[in-house]
């Protein structure tokens, strides 16, 4: 049914970040191309933009997808500790999906990569879902009506274009 086709916008440069709010309003979901953003942004700013973008997607009730999470697995059977933590933190922040690109396109261990990333996501989701049960965290399905109840508030994150 073509009435169900969704349009996801890929944000991969400063221009996309500058127009993020307008893009989010029109798109059904957002793909954050972290590899490309990492070229345009200082390394110490990438995580801020990721958190701000995921937060805004969650507030809008639209899926947030991230890329480039386990680059080392193109050649290695295991992710680095930093990559594993990055995957888990993306889930805890409210990311809805992870795209594996080079890791499965030209990686030496594509099936293992999918399995390992899936296991990391499942463990993070257990924590996330437990927090939901305890009333400590929210996702776009159960967002508080008052943003002051959310663990992440607009005041804790930079505006997307201004954080540079």
Residue 24 predicted with pLDDT over 80: yes
Residue 101 predicted with pLDDT over 70: yes
Residue 130 lies in a domain: yes
Q: Which two tokens stand for residue 19?
A: 């127009």
Residue 52 predicted with pLDDT over 60: yes
pLDDT band at 128 (very low <50, low <70, confident <90, very high): confident
Beta partners for residue 8, in sequence order: 29
Concatenate the DSSP letters of all residues of 51-71 into one string: HHHHHHHHHHT--EEE--S-G
pLDDT, the chain, mean: 85
Beta partners for residue 10, in sequence order: 31
Residue 86 lies in a domain: yes
Q: Which two tokens stand for residue 30?
A: 């957002």
Is the model more confident about 120 or about 142? Answer: 120
pLDDT band at 108 (very low <50, low <70, confident <90, very high): very high
Q: How many domains does the chain have?
A: 1
Helix (H, G, I), strand (E, B), or coil: what is residue 1?
Answer: coil
| Residue 151 belongs to domain spanning | 2-156
Residue 163 lies in a domain: no
CATH number at residue 119: 3.20.20.60
Q: CA–CA separation, 16 vs 2, rounded Å?
A: 27
Strands (E), the chain: 8-11, 29-32, 64-66, 97-98
Interval 132-152 mean pLDDT: 49
Residue 162 lies in a domain: no
Residue 161 lies in a domain: no
Q: CA–CA separation, 2 vs 129, rounded Å?
A: 33
């Amino acid at each position: 049914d073509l009435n169900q086709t969704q349009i996801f916008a890929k944000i991969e440069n400063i221009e996309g970040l500058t127009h993020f709010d307008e893009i989010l309003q029109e798109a059904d979901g957002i793909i954050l191309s972290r590899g490309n953003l990492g070229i345009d942004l200082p390394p110490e700013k990438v995580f801020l933009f990721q958190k701000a973008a995921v937060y805004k997607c969650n507030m809008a009730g639209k899926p947030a997808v991230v890329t480039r999470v386990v680059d080392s697995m193109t050649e290695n059977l295991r992710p680095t500790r930093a990559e594993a933590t990055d995957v888990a933190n993306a889930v805890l922040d409210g990311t809805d999906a992870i795209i594996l690109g080079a890791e499965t396109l030209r990686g030496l261990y594509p099936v293992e990569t999918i399995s390992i990333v899936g296991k990391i996501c499942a463990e993070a989701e257990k924590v996330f879902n437990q927090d939901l049960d305890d009333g400590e965290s929210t996702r776009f399905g159960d967002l508080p009506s008052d943003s002051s109840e959310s663990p992440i508030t607009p005041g804790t994150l930079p505006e997307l274009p201004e954080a540079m």
